[in-house]
Amino acid sequence: MYYKSFVLNKSKYLVSIAGPTAVGKTAAAIELAKYYNTEIVSADSRQFYQEMSIGTAKPSAEELAAVPHHFIGSHSIKQNFNVGDFERDGLAKLNELFSYHDVVLMAGGSGLYVKAITDGFDNLPDIDPSVRQSLNETFAQEGIDVLQNRLQQVDPEYFETVDKNNPQRIIRALEVFESTGKPFSSFHKGASKQRKFNIIKIILDLPREELYERINKRVDLMMQTGLLEEVKQLLPYRSLNALNTVGYSEVFDYTDGTTDLNTAFELIKQNTRRFAKRQLTWFRKDKDNKWFHPSDTEGMKTYIDNFIAANG
């Protein structure tokens, strides 16, 4: 599977393993990476950050040691690292990895970030800083509800899939609309960019009750392994966009004294379940996705091998 030098071309294959949070992407991707003797690029927009581990359910030290991973703890929360940056840096990393691998794995549930690598985006317009400042001031003074309502009015399509508790995502969509008069979702409908490699898209899913139970158990484990302590250490940085996300926002409310700890963790479970539902809505839109139970890695191997045989 290894080559010392290779001009990037269509004999290379990126296998994207995506799906809702807690479905089992990490375990499946590691097994596949071992089978193909390759490496994993993460497309989880929260696991990029060094300071966020427990609340983002990063792979364990043992999992990270099992096969090489990229974009896990690669950035600080103090850095501005957006989906455009990931498209640029992720493609550069793939270019490097494909110089000595025929197959590379990508794993993650952040739909925008997966799409950035597999399909690319239309070029987004430059934003007047005053528009962004105005929206940030609205968020600070009036809260996220006002922004949510505005986005629902001007871009109901994106509103259905966005993480509604993430002000960074909502503000980004609104600033594009305010600057162009066009909904943010309209910039995601252009023709896919040509990639210099084949793309195999796999989505993992479970029956809803089983997925929700896995989510609940994961949040319980986060509480037991020190999420509260992790959040307390991040209090000085709570205004940073990276921390405006499920698992952190709810615990910040507890540290503010606006809720009790049990309620905070129940809200994490509830908001994570809602997020998983939106992730599935996003992934169902792409008809190229092939759906698997996370335990069916043998079926995934057969599907990938057959795809390579048919296109090689």
- Residues 182 and 196 reside in one and the same domain: no
Copy the structure tokens of residue 246: 């499920």
pLDDT at residue 9 in the model: 60
Does 22 show up as a binding residue in the annotation? Answer: yes
- Residues 41 and 136 reside in one and the same domain: no
Task: Decide if 1 is inside a domain.
Answer: no
pLDDT at residue 232 in the model: 96
β-pair partners for 18 = 203
Q: Determine if the pTM surpasses 0.85.
A: no
CATH code for position 236? 3.40.50.300
Task: Decide if 7 is inside a domain.
Answer: no
Structural domains in the chain (count) = 2
- Residues 212 and 260 reside in one and the same domain: yes
CATH code for position 161? 1.10.20.140
Residue identified by tokens 């949040």 is 219
List alpha helices for 143-236, DSSP H. 144-154, 156-161, 167-180, 208-224, 227-233
- Residues 66 and 175 reside in one and the same domain: no
Count Cβ atoms within 10 A of the Cβ of residue 157 and give its class: 0-12 exposed, 13-18 middle, 19 or more buried.
Answer: middle
- How many CB atoms are located within 10 Å of the residue 31 CB? 18
Copy the structure tokens of residue 157: 């399509």
Task: Decide if 73 is inside a domain.
Answer: yes
- Residues 30 and 106 reside in one and the same domain: yes
* Cα–Cα distance measured from residue 66 to residue 52, given in angstroms and rounded to the nearest whole number: 21
Does 12 show up as a binding residue in the annotation? Answer: no
- Residues 209 and 301 reside in one and the same domain: yes
Last residue of a domain, which of 172, 188, 204? 188
Structural domain range at position 247: 13-120+192-311
Task: Decide if 8 is inside a domain.
Answer: no
* Cα–Cα distance measured from residue 37 to residue 1, given in angstroms and rounded to the nearest whole number: 7
Task: Decide if 134 is inside a domain.
Answer: yes
- Residues 307 and 258 reside in one and the same domain: yes
- Residues 171 and 84 reside in one and the same domain: no
Q: What φ, ψ does residue 72 adopt, rounded to 5°?
A: -110, 115
Task: Decide if 204 is inside a domain.
Answer: yes
Which residue pairs, CB below 8 angstroms and at least 24 apart, start in 266-271? Answer: 268/219, 268/222, 269/215, 269/216, 269/219, 271/165, 271/246
Task: Decide if 235 is inside a domain.
Answer: yes
Q: How many residues does the chain have?
A: 312
Task: Decide if 238 is inside a domain.
Answer: yes
- Residues 206 and 180 reside in one and the same domain: no
* Predicted confidence pLDDT, tens digits, the chain (312 residues): 333 333 446 799 999 999 999 999 999 999 999 999 999 999 999 999 999 999 999 999 999 999 999 999 999 999 888 888 999 999 999 999 999 999 999 999 999 899 999 998 766 677 777 888 888 888 888 888 888 898 989 888 888 878 777 787 888 888 888 888 888 887 766 556 889 999 999 999 999 999 999 999 999 999 999 999 999 999 999 988 889 899 999 999 999 999 999 999 999 999 999 999 999 999 999 999 999 999 999 999 999 999 999 987
* Cα–Cα distance measured from residue 239 to residue 89, given in angstroms and rounded to the nearest whole number: 26
Does 25 show up as a binding residue in the annotation? Answer: yes
- Residues 157 and 285 reside in one and the same domain: no
Q: Which amino acid is at 146?
A: V
pLDDT at residue 214 in the model: 98
Does 23 show up as a binding residue in the annotation? Answer: yes
- Residues 95 and 212 reside in one and the same domain: yes
* Cα–Cα distance measured from residue 36 to residue 251, given in angstroms and rounded to the nearest whole number: 40
Rounded to 5 degrees, what angle do the CA atoms 51, 55, 58 make?
75
- Residues 199 and 95 reside in one and the same domain: yes
* Cα–Cα distance measured from residue 85 to residue 112, given in angstroms and rounded to the nearest whole number: 12
* Cα–Cα distance measured from residue 251 to residue 44, given in angstroms and rounded to the nearest whole number: 21
Last residue of a domain, which of 169, 188, 207? 188
Last residue of a domain, which of 188, 217, 239? 188
Q: In the chain, what are the helix, strand and coil shares in percent, each to the nearest 5?
A: 55, 10, 40
